Amino acid sequence: MRLLLALLVTLLAAPTAQNMWGAQAQSAEALAKALQQKYDKVRDFSADFVHTYRGGVLRQTAIERGRLLVKKPGKMRWEYREPERKLFVSDGRKLYSYVPEDRQVLVSDVPDDDHATTPALFLAGKGNLGRDFTVAYAQVEDAPTGTTVLKLSPRKTEPEYDWLMLAIDPITLQIRML
């Protein structure tokens, strides 16, 4: 699931739908609640993503690009296109990992809710922003124009991350960057 979390770092372009929210958010919690209500109604979506992460002793940066497809509950397909092709597919019970260069498919069980990362639960339709995170407004230099940024700090300690930044169009509640 560490890989799934890393993929979420810069997920772009979640589903678009009109919403009555409007641009005048009174609180970060209210915006997160409205986003959760919208996402609860979404059954499936696809998004292009740019996955940027830093790791290792030298803190090197790696950038990968691809496409994500989600069908609730629990089905996901991550198609990496650059710099190398990779495929990760979950049917909600099993996770299939394929790297063409390795010429093999690795199969593992999807962690149960107690062992899954919070972002993975959210994408699978089992998470809740208000329950799983403390929410606050934040400033991010590279946030898409016209978005509002929420800083999500997990209520339960997550070994892979300390917080997530979520850039949202406050009118449509479209997730533009995570």
pLDDT at residue 134, as a whole number? 93
- Whole-model pTM? 0.68
Confidence of residue 36 (pLDDT cuts 50, 70, 90): very high
Beta-bridged to residue 80, according to DSSP, are 66, 86
Distance CA 17, CA 22 (A): 13
Place of tokens 């629990």: 74
Distance CA 77, CA 90 (A): 6
Distance CA 52, CA 60 (A): 10
pLDDT at residue 116, as a whole number? 64
Tokens at residue 83, please? 């710099």
Nearest in space to 77 (alpha carbons), one of 95, 63, 64: 95
Confidence of residue 8 (pLDDT cuts 50, 70, 90): very low
Distance CA 143, CA 123 (A): 21
Q: What is the overall mean pLDDT for the chain?
A: 80
CA torsion 140-144-146-151 (nearest 10°) is -40
Helix (H/G/I), strand (E/B), else coil: 51 = strand
**10 and 47 Cβ atoms separated by less than 8 Å:** no
Tell me which fold the domain 2-177 belongs to: outer membrane lipoprotein receptor (LolB), chain A (2.50.20)
pLDDT at residue 115, as a whole number? 58
* pLDDT tens, position by position, 58-95: 778 888 999 999 998 889 999 999 999 999 999 988 98
At 121, the amino acid letter reads L
**Predicted confidence (pLDDT) at residue 2 exceeds the cutoff of 60:** no
